[in-house]
Chain A
Amino acid sequence: MNFLAPIMLAGLAALSIPVLLHLMNRVRVKKTPWAAMKFLQTSVKRNRSRVRLQDILLLLIRCALVALAVLAFARPALKGPATQGEAGDGPVAAVVLLDNSASMGRFDGSETCFDKARHAVHAWLEERGQGSMVALHLVSNRTESLMAKPEPNLALLRGLLQKVALSDRSTDLVDGIRLACESLREVQGLPREVHVFTDGQASAWAKEEDLKRIAETFPEIRIIPTWIGEQSPANVAIIDVRVEGGLPAARQTCRLVVEVANYSDEPVRDVKVSLALNARAPDAQAVIGQIEPGRSQAVALMVNLPEAGLHEITAVIGPDALPVDNQRTLVINVAAQTDVLLVEEDHAAPAMDRDGYFLANALVPTARENAARYYLGATFISPATLADELANQNHQSAQAVFLSNVGALSDSAVAALRDYVNQGGSLMVFPGPRTTVADWQSHEAWWDMLPAELAEPVILKDNPLAWQSTGLTHPVTVLWNDAAQGSLSAIRFHQYFPLKLKSQPQAFEGAAEEKNISAGADAQVISRFVDGSPSVVEWQLGKGHVVLFSSTATPEWNNLPLHPAFVPYLQRLMGHLNRSHAARLAVSPGSPFRLALEAMWQGKEVKVMKPGAQSPVSIGQVLGDESGTFLRFSDTEKTGPYRLLTAEENELLGMFAVQMDPRESNLQRVSTEAVQALLEVDPQPLAESGAATLPQVVKQEFWTPLLWLVAALFVVEGLLAHRFSRAKAA
């Protein structure tokens, strides 16, 4: 509680007056002889307690009167930081943040949320008084300044509003709010405000700590969100399209999974999902029976991949209020035929005794006469020639390199492997009898590539250790959660190298600048033993991956190669690694796409066919620097497939898809109270720290009800005093 006229509180000293009067009457005693004592004594005896009570009551009322009157004149008031709705009508210096993220595209039948927001900004501008200065930014997950600093030219602002457009980006308002506050920092002489016109999507306000910090850093700037559109409308969206199983290969059926989410309060039924290859008529369709509110459901569709090369696959569901998430495009690189290199020490051994035998049969699970036509080809090499083979142009693009039971590697081999992985290759390591932990460990460069440290091998002759068969979570092994697919529990290891996961890998060269490639991730476990210890681990290195097994790829130490799961396990592993590469063919809206090309393309003019465009547009030349020849394209605002073509021959250089952030499909609105709680600041800590105090406004004054109370008490006191005195009067 504050007092607007605290000096008046000195009047509380007047409380002593009725008390003193009361006491003085008792102190000034006069004496008199009296004859009619018995009559007086009787009267006093009968009425003493009643009279005392009346006296006390009157004293209390009189004291309360004085106290309340003093308090009223001191003007008690509740103060607090100014909030929305308390804006004055006068000129302001303001920054308008207009949310143009994908969620603002939801349509209510007459206009989109974004159009409503524009109208709301127009209306707000109309209400601004003469002398206001306003800036305008579009905000999504980035801030686009249309008018960077507050300007008095509101007509110009209105003109800019006509030209703003919706984006397919996700929403993150924190940076926009921070930039807006910083642009207002230097403005003086006017109240400073940031107005955010947004649909209130909860994900946009998730960074609570950052928002609180902004509010505390700029306490003098009022941040006023305005919600546009209805609260938390229903939405069904495609949130993922992915390849399941092995590598997508030409003339092979590819299994694709489409995941659909229900962001509404009611279940949705009979969701029809269709899949189209290369913008043709739907190649596959399925119906999801029911999706519970707040949950997602995946459906698998099979598509026949006709030929090798880049293909776009678009999944589509029925229309709703937010159309942008009702379809999602995936670009896949279908292999015609690709290589895997199997590195083994002893080529001279009989076929079945060779370290790469079982791997080769699992990777090319077809009869020998058909092997040449299989999309995957296995080439056996030795560690001694590994460096040369990887340098060979034919093998530079090998899908994977398998090291099976190799001993110490030469420096050149390790260096070649490092380059190979950095460039995006996948390395799978199966240690065995020839593996000496000390030798590997002594080779620092090699040891650092591995996602786990090996300990000396453990021999379990009588009680082999099995694999975990339930609660599998890795994309490679999740298939075996379904009992119909068999069980991994029969896979037993009687000898293996215990693995200790590495948590912080070293940084490698060639860390990707594009956001769609993550680098330096911690090691992940693909498979575990039943005792929980890791058996197969992986991590990403550069653009590639390294997978480390704890035992041999032969039945020498375990029965994995003999188990029916070995072939699908390897196929799925290959597919998983390939999808990591395939992830480079998908970017989020606004993220640049970088495509590495051969040197011969350097300097060539390139065009791009954007989603929904009728014809391609030129985007410049293929560049080259010390890292290589590459194409970089940044105008990825719209979701959908992008084709990169040579300007002259219209030859396809590359293809990628821009995919909306699936979180943008959840239209759940954050509560206004939650946002206000973040943005309102307790002034006391700020005052202690010496920072500028928040402008305080009077929320409520209490002098009026206090005076009414005084008047009421005055009447009561008068009535009671009259009544009591009448009772006493002769």
Chain B
Amino acid sequence: MSRELLDAGAVSHGEALGLMARRIVEGYRVGEHRSPFHGFAIEFAQHREYAPGDDMRHLDWKVLGRSDKYFIKQYEQDTNLVVHLVVDGSASMNYGSSPAAGSDDAQEAVSKLHYAKILTACLAYVVLQQRDAVALALVDSELREYLRRSDNMQRLPLFLDRLAAFTGSKETKLGDALDQVAAAAGRRGIVVVLSDGFDDEAALVRGLEKLSFLGHEVVFFHVLDPFELTFPFDGTWRFQDLESSDELQTTPADFRAAYLENFSAFCQRLRTACERLHAHYVLCDTSRSVAETLSGYLALRQSLKRK
């Protein structure tokens, strides 16, 4: 896999974001694999003439053998898969503690939002590449922007531009935002939520429940900073809350164990809630590369599909 360039500056430009996502995805060779997002039964519906760029996996070799012409099989559900990408842009997602892993010259910390954007871009690329539809929802305290689904790769730059320009607000009300996504989503598909989950847990879980009850397959990418996961601070620190004006001065070493216990329990609760909803819970440590996170999850989906 090639090393990703997770340049924080690049994330703010759609083109650069697309470039980055493509590099990541192609580096993973997602395109060479069967679609990872395959949650539904697909039946042959009809043929259509092959166009450059079509997935060669759908080429009907029998027809080619008989007629010496290239035709693509179309399935009944082929155009029904919609992946709704929901990106949390609340203030807490702006926290980043360290450069991405493997980066030599990163000068700025990679924020969770930054990470989520890249991951979203990669996912959008993957989905569009397999001719499925992608919808994009940018949320913070509410559904900030919703880009209707499209299976046209030509629309990807628009998605990426909106994604790159999204900065979010201070507050998080993810539960309310997910309700709005549910309403906007329409027919069922896959809803991928990328968030740190620093919100009213109950409301968040209700939001996920609602999506699940509406027939959507829910995937929750829990994007977290390594410092939030390990709390490695030493000495005396004054912590300034990103979402409020609260400050707390303390010696973190004295409270590390208690914090980690608390935080771990929080993650576990979300995981448990996802499992209960038959949703996928993916812990995303922003110190790990996006490719690693993405490949890890896609491999999981592949393995689940085989079962």
Contact = CB atoms under 8 A, between A and B. Distances in A.
Interface centre among A27, A30, A40, A51 (most CB of B within 10 A): A40
Contacts of B248: 34, 37, 40-41, 44
Given A37-B248, A39-B266, A728 B242 contact: no
Contact of B257 (A31, A32, A39, A729): A729
B254 interface: yes
6 nearest A-B pairs in the assembled complex, by CB-CB distance: A43-B258, A35-B95, A35-B92, A34-B239, A37-B241, A51-B254
B230 A34 contact: no
B277 to A, nearest CB: 23
Contacts of B252: 40
A725 B252 CA distance: 12
A728 B252 CA distance: 9
Interface in A416-458: none
Contacts of A42: 262
A684 interface: no
Interface residues of B, number: 42
A46 interface: yes
Contact of B256 (A28, A33, A728): A728
Contacts of B196: 35
Contact of A730 (B230, B251, B254, B266): B230
Contacts of B258: 43-44, 46-47
A155 interface: no
A29 interface: yes
Interface centre among A26, A36, A728, A730 (most CB of B within 10 A): A36
A730 B257 contact: yes
Given A34-B95, A35-B228, A37-B246, A29 B237 contact: yes
Interface in B53-107: 91-95
A430 B132 CA distance: 160
Given A25-B236, A28-B235, A36-B228, 13 more contacts: A25-B251, A30-B236, A31-B237, A31-B240, A32-B237, A34-B242, A35-B95, A51-B251, A54-B254, A728-B255, A728-B257, A730-B232, A730-B257
A34 B241 contact: yes
B255 A51 contact: yes
Nearest to A726: B257
A727 interface: yes
A40 B256 CA distance: 9
B142 interface: no
A28 to B, nearest CB: 6
B235 A30 contact: yes
A730 B260 contact: yes
Given A39-B259, A39-B266, A42-B262, A728 B236 contact: no
Contacts of B254: 47, 51, 54-55, 728
B238 A29 contact: yes
B225 to A, nearest CB: 7
A30 B262 contact: no
B297 interface: no
Contact of B262 (A33, A43, A55): A43
Interface residues of A, number: 30
Secondary structure at the A interface, as helix, strand, loop or mixed, is helix
A728 B233 CA distance: 12
B22 to A, nearest CB: 30
Interface string B208-243: 000000000000000001001011110111111111
B46 interface: no
Interface centre among A44, A725, A729 (most CB of B within 10 A): A44
Contacts of A730: 230-232, 256-257, 260
B240 A728 contact: no
Interface in A533-581: none
A30 B237 contact: yes
B249 interface: yes
Contacts of B255: 40, 43-44, 47, 51, 728
B268 interface: no
Contacts of B257: 727-730
21 contacts: A25-B235, A30-B235, A31-B238, A32-B233, A32-B238, A33-B95, A35-B91, A35-B95, A35-B243, A36-B92, A36-B263, A37-B241, A37-B246, A38-B198, A39-B266, A44-B258, A51-B251, A728-B254, A729-B256, A730-B232, A730-B257
Nearest to B236: A29
A39 B235 contact: no
A101 B248 CA distance: 91
A56 to B, nearest CB: 12
B30 to A, nearest CB: 31
B150 to A, nearest CB: 33
A43 B259 contact: yes
Contacts of B251: 25-26, 51
Given A43-B255, A728-B255, A32 B239 contact: yes
Contacts of B165: none
Contacts of B239: 32-34, 37, 40
A389 B231 CA distance: 132
B240 A32 contact: yes
B253 interface: yes
Contacts of B272: none
